[in-house]
């Protein structure tokens, strides 16, 4: 297994070769919580196209009508109540099903980075282009921070076991990697319980299985390229569709541990 070391001060990731084996301690979209999703090129395109219809006209008009100063209703930023909630929910649990990620409990620095990447078009996967470029375009830096801070403080979604067999296979990859294809353990960056390490590595615990599948396929096909030092493109390119589904099933089942 390729062992990764992350230097926080420098924001650098280093893949250390030769392969090192160690046994101890993912990732991300489609319309339903499927137990054994496989994503081919045509299905990936279909998922992306169908998702755009889930964003309401009201959300688009609200985004364009946002004021520069982000006012708040109670503790809820206007950007959330007028725009973000349409897809991600008021508390960060998506009401639209698996097509949109749950944001509740996600690290604020990671959310800031993703929103900034949408605004700068650095994150240019099909879903980003179709939806998030427009949604994030009118946000000011202050609004970005308000949204990130708000969602990071919400109660995360609970893990859900969809398929124990798939989750068990995914657990092996998450914790031990795949030595034969030089895939590092996911826990090396995302933590043994999937809580992540901001600002580069997001919380994965409890994330929707189909969303994890889609994002891993974006990385695998080089459609998403805002991963630090191309680490996710490296990992995903070495995963089969079956392994992607297994990892996504395991990630969905993780409850996370606030004491990690």
**Helix-strand-coil percent breakdown of the chain, rounded to 5?**
45, 5, 45
pLDDT, residue 235, reads: 98
pLDDT, residue 42, reads: 53
Q: What is the DSSP letter of 66?
A: -
Structure-token pair, residue 227: 């991963």
pLDDT of the chain, 260 residues: tens digit per residue: 444 444 444 444 443 333 333 333 333 333 333 333 344 455 565 555 555 444 434 344 444 444 334 445 558 999 999 999 999 999 999 987 668 999 999 999 999 999 999 999 999 999 999 999 999 999 999 999 999 999 999 999 899 999 999 999 999 999 999 999 999 999 999 999 999 999 999 999 999 999 999 999 999 999 999 999 999 999 999 999 999 999 999 999 999 755 44
Q: Are 125 and 74 in contact (CB under 8 A)?
A: no
Model pTM greater than 0.85?
Answer: no
Return all residues near 120 (Cβ < 8 A) that are at least 6 apart. none
pLDDT, residue 256, reads: 72
Q: How far apart are CA 196 and CA 167, in angstroms?
A: 19
pLDDT, residue 96, reads: 72
Going by DSSP bridges, is the β-strand pair 3-7/76-77 parallel, antiparallel, or unpaired? unpaired
């Amino acid at each position: 297994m390729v062992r990764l070391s992350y230097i926080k001060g420098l924001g650098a990731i280093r893949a250390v070769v030769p392969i090192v084996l160690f046994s101890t301690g993912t990732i991300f979209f489609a319309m339903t919580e499927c137990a054994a999703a496989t994503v081919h090129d045509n299905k990936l395109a279909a998922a992306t196209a169908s998702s755009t219809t889930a964003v309401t006209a009201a959300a688009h008009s609200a985004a364009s009508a946002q004021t520069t100063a982000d006012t708040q209703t109670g503790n809820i930023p206007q950007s959330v109540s007028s725009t973000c909630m349409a897809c991600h929910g008021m508390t960060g649990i998506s009401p639209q099903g698996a097509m949109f990620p749950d944001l509740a409990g996600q690290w604020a620095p990671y959310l800031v980075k993703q929103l900034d990447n949408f605004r700068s078009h650095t994150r240019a996967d099909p879903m980003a282009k179709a939806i998030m470029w427009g949604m994030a375009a009118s946000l000011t830096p202050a609004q970005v921070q308000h949204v990130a801070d708000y969602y990071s403080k919400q109660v995360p979604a609970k893990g859900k076991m969809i398929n124990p067999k798939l989750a068990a296979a995914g657990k092996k990859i998450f914790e031990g990697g795949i030595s034969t294809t030089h895939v590092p353990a996911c826990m090396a960056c995302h933590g043994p319980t999937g809580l992540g390490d901001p600002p580069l590595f997001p919380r994965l615990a409890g994330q929707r299985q189909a969303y994890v599948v889609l994002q891993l396929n974006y990385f695998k096909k080089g459609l998403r390229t805002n991963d630090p030092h191309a680490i996710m493109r490296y990992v995903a390119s070495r995963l089969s569709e079956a392994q992607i589904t297994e990892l996504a099933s395991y990630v969905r089942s993780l409850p996370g541990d606030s004491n990690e």
